[in-house]
Amino acid sequence: MAEIVHLADRTPQVSAEDLLAGFHPSYRFGEVSFDTYIPDPSHPSQAEAVNRLREFAASISGRRGGSGGRSAGSGGGLFGFLKGGKSGGKAGKKGATSATGIYLDGGFGVGKTHLLASTWHAAPGPKAFGTFVEYTNLVGALSFRKTVDVLKEYTLVCIDEFELDDPGDTVLMSRLMRELADAGVKLVATSNTLPGSLGDGRFAAQDFKREIQVLAEQFDVVRVDGEDYRHRGLTAAPAPLEDDQLEAVRAERFPEAAVVSEDDFADLTANLTRVHPSRYRKLVEDVDVMVLHHVETISEQAMALRFVVLADRLYDKDVPVIASGVPFDQLFTEEMMGGGYQKKYFRTVSRMTALVREGQMGETGL
């Protein structure tokens, strides 16, 4: 019998060590490679991106003291700094190569994270892989200087879902990327927005042109066009279930699930305001299936952005979702879907729809 847990009751604590241990591809992307990426022949930029990144990964040299398969959160590197030690290996020379980094630009669902994780797997270590918010959280946990000291010892830093939501992040990430590039660290990032347009529609980006330009200078842009693979060739998204159907569907679809989270949507979102987004991975780490009662349209921007992070963590872990209430294409208001964060919200709708399709229909994306 499954253990029923309530995420609304959880208040996970995450240490710096926990944060660092997570700097590797998630379960969903734990074994991907360039060979498992299936380019859409109608969009040649996908195959071109594979070739470009394959060459980029092959050009990366390992650092002394680093091992090929080590993630940023394993071995002596990052943890050595927490204990006051050196992380081994000297930083690369400034300006060692002309292409410090590659910036994958494209819409949601074209496989950018798959390509990013494939690059991580193909490159020698030590190396780090995390979302944009995880790097900003790392700075908060370690301090900016220690984060630089740690990451500059790595061969490769991969940054998924690169977006600038406020001026503080703009200044922070501009400094971080510049210092890592100067130390010879290779950078690969994914985003739905070209680097020169980061921050548009979110804050007065024109006041931070210098910082945004510094970020843009670190990367060569590689465009990845295409359709949302998560829904390519599948039936229409399932309608929400009636509330009294949820448990029966869960028991039928996932009889072997060990841990099932079951929450009223309002209770879950209320708890998200009490739990920092850096802890959401810990919040759902043991969950096999999510059951959500009475999903509602989110009308508050701060809550919407928190739910974006939760959706990413659920998608990373491939947690099927069974839900009642409004369908997930109505999760955000029309105003939000047309505003400055629309690309984040479209990604979340795409990912949550894929998880609901898996939970209620047994269908998965390609």
Residue 73 has pLDDT above 50, yes or no: no
DSSP per-residue letters across 64-83? TT--TT--TTSSSHHHHHHT
Q: Shortest CA distance to 322 belongs to which of 267, 262, 363, 268? A: 262
Per-residue pLDDT at 75: 39
- Which single residue is written with the structure tokens 């470009």? 52
Per-residue pLDDT at 90: 36
Domain residue limits, the chain: 3-13+230-361, 32-227
Per-residue pLDDT at 214: 64
Per-residue pLDDT at 63: 61
Residue 341 has pLDDT above 50, yes or no: yes
Per-residue pLDDT at 77: 45
H or E segment and range at residue 312: helix 301-317
Per-residue pLDDT at 70: 42
Per-residue pLDDT at 364: 57
Which residues, in sequence order, are CB contacts of 253 under 8 Å at separation 6+?
320, 322, 359, 360, 362
Dump pLDDT digits (tens) for 99-141: 578 988 887 778 899 999 999 999 998 999 998 888 888 888 8
What mean pLDDT, rounded, does the chain reach? 81
H or E segment and range at residue 158: strand 156-160
Dump pLDDT digits (tens) for 268-289: 999 999 998 889 999 999 999 9
- The helix/strand/coil state of 29 is helix
CATH class for the domain made up of 32-227: alpha beta
pLDDT band at 166 (very low <50, low <70, confident <90, very high): low
* Rounded Cα–Cα distance for residues 276 and 101 (Å): 30
Dump pLDDT digits (tens) for 293-337: 999 999 999 999 999 999 999 998 999 999 999 999 899 999 999
**Residue 76 to residues 122, 154, 184: CA-CA distances in angstroms?**
21, 12, 20
Which residues, in sequence order, are CB contacts of 299 under 8 Å at separation 6+?
333
Better-predicted residue by pLDDT, 28 or 158: 158
Neighbour order of strands in the sheet with 289-295: 3-5, 259-264, 289-295, 321-325
* Rounded Cα–Cα distance for residues 50 and 37 (Å): 8
Per-residue pLDDT at 107: 77
**Residue 143 to residues 79, 257, 346: CA-CA distances in angstroms?**
15, 40, 32
Q: What is the mean pLDDT of residues 170-180?
A: 83
Residue 207 has pLDDT above 60, yes or no: no
Neighbour tally for 240: CB within 10 Å: 21
Cα 160–Cα 119–Cα 281 angle in degrees, nearest 5: 40
Q: What is the mean pLDDT of residues 182-211?
A: 61
User: Is 255 buried (19+), middle (13-18) or exposed (0-12) by CB count in 10 A?
Assistant: exposed
* Rounded Cα–Cα distance for residues 105 and 221 (Å): 7
Q: Shortest CA distance to 108 belongs to which of 346, 353, 329? A: 346
**Residue 211 to residues 26, 175, 353: CA-CA distances in angstroms?**
30, 8, 36
Per-residue pLDDT at 92: 38
Q: What is the mean pLDDT of residues 76-104?
A: 50
Rounded to a whole number of angstroms, the CA Rg of the chain reads 20
Per-residue pLDDT at 15: 83
Which residues, in sequence order, are CB contacts of 85 under 8 Å at separation 6+?
76
pLDDT band at 88 (very low <50, low <70, confident <90, very high): very low
Per-residue pLDDT at 227: 76
Q: Can you list the pairs that 93-99 forms with residues at least 24 positions away whose Cβ atoms lie under 8 Å?
A: 93/184, 94/182, 94/183, 94/184, 96/184, 97/59, 97/186, 99/56, 99/220
Per-residue pLDDT at 25: 92
* Rounded Cα–Cα distance for residues 38 and 64 (Å): 34
Which backbone phi and psi does 105 adopt, to 5 degrees?
-110, 130
Better-predicted residue by pLDDT, 47 or 66: 47
Q: What is the mean pLDDT of residues 251-268?
A: 96
